[in-house]
């Protein structure tokens, strides 16, 4: 029997721009034209003020490590132990991700360390934004 596949996201009309962006090597966020709040996950209105006038923009890709666990249990597509992290993007929103190019240990994964976005192509439709320690 084939090994169960890793969970793959499937875009909806409201999130398609995000996955198109990731495929093009861009981390795309949205910002409210009325109140200037940047937000995530994607939706065609502002969760802070309700305005439907919002813009999509390319985020800087800079982030800091907000929190994480190092998972030790088997999950399809992953080799334990691996970190499941939440990062704080420079623009304000937070997102879940994995941290790559870094030992998956409490010593190496220091809270508030600086990170930058990188992309991993899963298949033709989906490229995932991941984060690695900042190079600059």
Partner 1 sequence: MRRNQVAVVGAAETTELGVIPHMSQIQLHADAALNAIADAGLKLSDIDGFATAVETPQQIAHYLGITPTWVDGTSVGGCSFMLHVRHAAAAIEAGLCKTVLITHAESGKSNIGRTPRMIGPDSLNGQFELPYGVSTPASLFPIPVLRYMKTHGITHEQLAMVAVVQREWAAKNPRATMKTPITVEDVLNSRMIAYPFRILQCCLVTDGGGALILTSAERARDFPQKPVYILGTGESVETPMVSQMQTFDSSRAFRVAGPLAFKEAGITHKDVDHLMIYDAFAHLPLFGLGDLGFMPHEDAGKFIAGGHTRPGGKLPLNTNGGGLSYMHSGMYGMYALQESVRQMRGIAPAQVQGAKISVCHGVGGMFAASGTIIFTNET
Binding interface with partner 1 (CB under 8 A)? 6-12, 15, 40-41, 66-73, 75, 77-78, 81-82, 84-86, 94-98, 106, 111, 122, 126, 128
* Cβ-Cβ contacts under 8 Å for 135 (sequence gap 6 or more): 116
Q: Which residue in 49, 47, 68 sits closest to 115, CA to CA?
A: 68
* H or E stretch at 89: strand 82-89
Nearer CB in complex with partner 1: 127/136:
127
Q: How far is the CB of 22 from partner 1 (least distance, A)?
A: 11
Taking CA atoms, 6 is separated from 10, 47, 76, in Å, by: 13, 30, 5
- Least distance to partner 1, CB of residue 41, Å: 5
**Smallest distance, partner 1 to C-beta of residue 73, A:** 6
Peptide bond into 116 cis (omega under 30): no
**Shortest Å, Cβ 91 to partner 1:** 15
DSSP letter for 52, please.
S
Q: In this complex, which beta carbon is closest to partner 1, that of residue 76 or of residue 136?
A: 76
Q: Which of 59, 64, 71, 69 is nearest to 29 (CA)?
A: 59
Closest to partner 1 by CB, 23 vs 136, is: 23
């Amino acid at each position: 029997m084939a090994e169960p596949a890793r969970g793959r996201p499937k875009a909806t009309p409201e999130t398609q721009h995000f996955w198109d962006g990731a495929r093009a090597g861009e981390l795309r966020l949205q910002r409210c034209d009325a109140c200037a709040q940047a937000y995530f996950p994607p939706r065609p209105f502002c969760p802070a003020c309700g305005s439907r006038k919002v813009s999509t923009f390319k985020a800087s890709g800079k982030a800091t490590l907000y929190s994480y666990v190092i998972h030790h249990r088997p999950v399809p597509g992953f080799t334990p132990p691996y970190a499941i992290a939440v990062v704080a993007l420079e623009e304000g929103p937070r997102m879940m991700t994995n941290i790559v190019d870094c030992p998956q240990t409490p010593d190496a994964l220091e809270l508030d360390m600086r990170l930058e976005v990188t992309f991993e192509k899963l298949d033709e439709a989906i490229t995932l934004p991941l984060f690695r320690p900042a190079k600059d």
